[in-house]
Structure 1
Amino acid sequence: MTEPTISPRRPAMDRYGVASAAPRPEGLADILERVLDKGIIIAGDIRVNLLDIELLTVKIRLLVVSVDKAMEMGIDWWTRDPMLSGDAQELADENRELRQRLEELERERG
């Protein structure tokens, strides 16, 4: 019985058949891991003008990154967003109580 041979990995080829020196990711999981580890930012602006009058401006900013990498970059808005934190219901209740107290004070004042 013969031992199985390990075939050397062939270099990745581009669409023109030229070998690439850089290793390419094996699959979607590898690509996703790299994107989340390094991060990717897509930014763009869309402006609609009519006779040099700006009618509409849309600014698009998309950041795809892991939570750890985002916090490393100083981005942590989700920690202060009451709808995303565990205290969302408590904050909603407190807000409702404060509004009721404010209405009572305004009624008493006249």
Structure 2
Amino acid sequence: MTHPGRLPSPYTAERGGTDLADILERVLDKGVVIAGDIKINLLDIELLTIRLRLVVASVDRAKDMGIDWWESDPSLSSHARKGELARENEELRRRLAELEERTV
């Protein structure tokens, strides 16, 4: 109950609610998908389509869903960076060997 001239008390977990940490934990545990399309038409001619897909989940939950693109992205994973450097090194060695064969 509020009294005139007084602000209501803040909504707290003791009053039966959930706090931000609980909500975030639930969202990351279950995952949330937000999808939407934006289309811009002029006289029934589609000029622009933007498709937005957003997945909010924990890393473990994302892996369970089959989403693990960050593991193979060299800008996000040192393991992927090492693999990319190894492939590039092998390609350069192969090209160098070809060039040496041509000069002999």
- TM-score, shorter chain, exceeding 0.5: yes
Partner of 1:37: 29
Rounded Cα–Cα distance in structure 2 between residues aligned with 1:31 and 1:90: 38
Q: Give the C-alpha shift of residue 84 in structure 1.
A: 1.1
Unmatched runs of 5 consecutive residues or more in structure 2: 1-13
* Percent of residue pairs identical: 59
Work out whether 1:91 is the aligned partner of 2:84. Answer: yes
Of 72, 86, 95, which residue of structure 1 is paired with 2:64? Answer: 72
Rounded Cα–Cα distance in structure 1 between residues aligned with 2:24 and 2:90: 45
User: Residue 59 of structure 2 aligns to which amino acid in structure 1?
Assistant: V
Rounded Cα–Cα distance in structure 1 between residues aligned with 2:24 and 2:52: 22
**TM-score computed with the length of structure 1 as normaliser:** 0.61
CA offsets, 1:2-25, max 9 Å, x none?
xxxxxxx76x5xxxxxxxxxxx42
Name whichever of 53-62 and 72-81 sits farther off.
72-81
Of 35, 40, 43, which residue of structure 2 is paired with 1:48? Answer: 40
Name whichever of 82-91 and 51-60 sits farther off.
82-91
> Any runs of at least 4 consecutive aligned residues in structure 1 with deviations exceeding 3 A, and if so which?
92-99
Structure 1 pair 29–74 and aligned structure 2 pair: CA distance change class (3 A):
same
